[in-house]
Chain A
Amino acid sequence: MFQTVMAELTIGFGKTIEIFVLTLLGALPLGLIISFGSMSKFKPLKAVVRFMIWVIRGTPLMLQLIVVYYGPGLIFGTNIWGIGNEGRFVAVLAAFIINYAFYFSEIYRGGIESIPKGQYEAGQVLGLTKRQIFFNVVLLQVIKRILPPMGNEIITLVKDTSLARVIAVYEVIWAGQNFIKSAGLIWPLFMTAVYYLAFTGLVQIVLGRIEKKLSYFN
Chain B
Amino acid sequence: MSILEVKGFTKSFGDVKVLKGVDFSIEEGEVLAIIGPSGGGKTTLLRCINFLERADGGTLSINDKVIYDGSCPSISDAEIRENRLHLGMVFQQFNLFPQYTALENVTLAPKLSRKWPEDEILERAKDLLARVGLADKMNNYPCELSGGQQQRVAIARALAMQPDILCFDEPTSSLDPEITGEVLRVIKRLAEENTTMVVVTHEMGFAREVADKVIFIDGGVIAECGTPDEIFGNPKSERLRDFLGSIR
Given contacts A119-B95, A127-B84, A128-B112, contact A216 B77 (CB under 8 A): no
Q: Indicate whether A7 reaches chain B with its CB closer than 8 angstroms.
A: no
Residue-wise, chain B 70-106 has the 8 Å CB interface mask toward A (1 for contact) of: 0000000100011011011101010111110000000
Q: Are A127 and B143 in contact (CB under 8 A)?
A: no
Given contacts A121-B91, A125-B52, A217-B141, contact A136 B108 (CB under 8 A): yes
Q: Are A125 and B97 in contact (CB under 8 A)?
A: no
A129–B79 Cα gap in the complex (Å)? Answer: 11
Residue-wise, chain A 128-171 has the 8 Å CB interface mask toward B (1 for contact) of: 11101000110011001000000000000000000000000000
Q: Are A121 and B52 in contact (CB under 8 A)?
A: yes
Q: Which of B81, B96, B143 contacts A129 (CB 8 A)?
A: B81
Q: Are B98 and A217 in contact (CB under 8 A)?
A: yes
Q: Are A217 and B87 in contact (CB under 8 A)?
A: no
Q: Indicate whether A79 reaches chain B with its CB closer than 8 angstroms.
A: no
- Shortest Cβ distance from A155 into chain B, in angstroms? 26
Q: Are A118 and B84 in contact (CB under 8 A)?
A: no
Q: Are B84 and A119 in contact (CB under 8 A)?
A: no
Residue-wise, chain A 185-218 has the 8 Å CB interface mask toward B (1 for contact) of: 0000000000000000000000000000000111
> Which residues from chain A contact B93 at a C-beta distance below 8 Å?
116, 118
Q: Are A125 and B84 in contact (CB under 8 A)?
A: yes
Q: Indicate whether B222 reaches chain A with its CB closer than 8 angstroms.
A: no
Interface centre among A123, A126, A128, A129 (most CB of B within 10 A): A126
Q: Are B161 and A126 in contact (CB under 8 A)?
A: yes
Q: Which size bracket describes the interface of A in this complex?
A: 20 to 34
Q: Indicate whether A122 reaches chain B with its CB closer than 8 angstroms.
A: yes
Contact residues of B between 90 and 136, Cβ < 8 Å to A:
91, 93, 95-99, 108-109, 112-113
Q: Are B143 and A119 in contact (CB under 8 A)?
A: no
Q: Are B95 and A121 in contact (CB under 8 A)?
A: yes
Q: Are A124 and B52 in contact (CB under 8 A)?
A: yes
> Which residues from chain A contact B157 at a C-beta distance below 8 Å?
126
A136–B98 Cα gap in the complex (Å)? Answer: 12
Given contacts A136-B108, A217-B142, contact A127 B95 (CB under 8 A): no
Interface centre among B82, B95, B96, B157 (most CB of A within 10 A): B95
Q: Which residue of B lies closest to A125 (CB)?
A: B89
Q: Indicate whether B50 reaches chain A with its CB closer than 8 angstroms.
A: yes
Given contacts A122-B91, A127-B84, A130-B77, contact A136 B112 (CB under 8 A): yes
**Additional A-B contact list (17), CB under 8 Å, known A119-B95, A216-B141:** A118-B93, A118-B95, A119-B97, A121-B52, A121-B95, A122-B91, A125-B89, A125-B158, A126-B109, A126-B158, A127-B82, A127-B85, A127-B109, A136-B112, A140-B99, A141-B99, A217-B143
Nearest 6 interchain pairs by C-beta: A126-B109, A122-B95, A118-B95, A125-B89, A217-B98, A217-B99
In the assembled complex, 16 residue pairs joining A and B whose CB atoms fall closer than 8 Å, in A order, are: A116-B95, A122-B95, A122-B96, A125-B88, A125-B89, A126-B109, A126-B157, A126-B161, A127-B81, A127-B113, A130-B77, A141-B99, A144-B99, A216-B141, A217-B141, A218-B143
User: What is the interface of chain B, defined by CB distance below 8 A to chain A?
Assistant: 50-52, 77, 81-82, 84-85, 87-89, 91, 93, 95-99, 108-109, 112-113, 141-143, 157-158, 161
